[in-house]
Amino acid sequence: MKLLDRYILSELLPPFLIGVLSIILMLLGDQLYHLMHLVLTKHVPVGQVTQMLTFKLPEVLVLALPMSTILAVALALNRLVREHEWAAMRVAGLSLSRFLRSIVVFGLVVSLASFLINEKVVPPASYAFDNLVLRISLKNPAAFIEPRTFFKPSPQEDTYFYVGAVDDETGTLYNVLVFQNLSSDYPQALLARTARFTQGKWYLEDVIQHHWDANGVLIREGETKHLVLNFEEFTSDFWTAPRGPSEMTLGELKRQIEVFEQSNITAPTMKLEYHRKFALPAACLVLALLCTPLSIRFAHAGSYVGLLISVLLVFAYYLTQAWSQALGRNGILPPVLAAWLQNLLFTAGAFYLLRRLR
């Protein structure tokens, strides 16, 4: 029987590893296109772009593991049934529950690996990615500026920029609109024909200034040939981006939630992220269990059915997950139920189908 376990696991590993590699490449496809655009068009150094891709890899790997697990189970069982090895195992006295032990062990190992990566590797990698993007954008804003969109040059400044066009070769910005002090009683707007950013300072040319009072009445308007906005203090190497829930470990998230609760703040999103750190890795085991009876039942329809089952189950799982998370963030469901709802539903479906298969 130990030989049988090794044989089943040997059938699962090749499609699993191929699935991990293929899914990572697919999920990173958009990132690769964007990063190549930064290198070729925005002239961001290749070394920094490579670092960005490396920091993004653990997050993509966590998403790829559940999909790779269900792909491995579907393809392996499809082959075992079509080539009558499943029938030989049953004739030899192998029970369904005994056969499932190998599937469960495989799913548990992948779930544990997913949990450890999501807890130990993803938070520091995501945080390093955000910091790297922040440093590049502060030193070379044109690299991340999209024309005809609003953005803030610094999280700590009450200033918003709107850029009409960007010259990627020279880094010159055209038709720049700057809104300052919007939260105060005396906001102002600057309209510059061109602008450049160098060493933390914005150099505006041909500027028209507008100043309003607390009632929204224009109190002053003027023109100036040159104007400098200084954000140099925010380009310091010691400046770091704030941590988001996905960039925190379980311990950090728990402490942050306790701080909010002491201030009578519910923070449902942070609680949802806390429970998702357990629920997402468990998806590997849940999907493996659900895929087993479906793959055995429809294996004789052809090898392509394994791929179809994988695609449909992954689509249904993530659709249910998105729906439950939306309910959790809006306070309709408790955070723990919103994080685990898709796992509970799919586990119930797996046990029902396994019972029918027996």
What is the tens place of the pLDDT at every residue in 250-265? 888 888 888 877 777 7
Which stretches within the chain are classed as H helix? 2-27, 29-40, 46-82, 85-91, 96-116, 122-139, 250-262, 268-298, 304-329, 335-357
What is the model's pLDDT at position 12? 93
Q: Which pLDDT value is given to residue 348?
A: 95
* Number of other CB atoms surrounding residue 251 within 10 Å: 9
Contact 56, 31 (CB under 8 A): yes
Give me the pLDDT at residue 64, please.
Answer: 92
Q: Which residues of the chain have pLDDT under 50?
A: 234-240
Which of 44, 20, 217 minimizes the C-alpha distance to 141? 44
Closest to 195 measured CA to CA, from 166, 221, 219, 223 = 166
Structure tokens at 211: 């100043």
- Please compute Rg for the chain using Cα positions: 27
pTM as predicted: 0.72
pLDDT digits (tens, 9 = 90+) for 129-153: 877 776 666 666 666 677 777 777 6
Q: What's the CA gap between 346 and 67, in Å, rounded?
A: 14
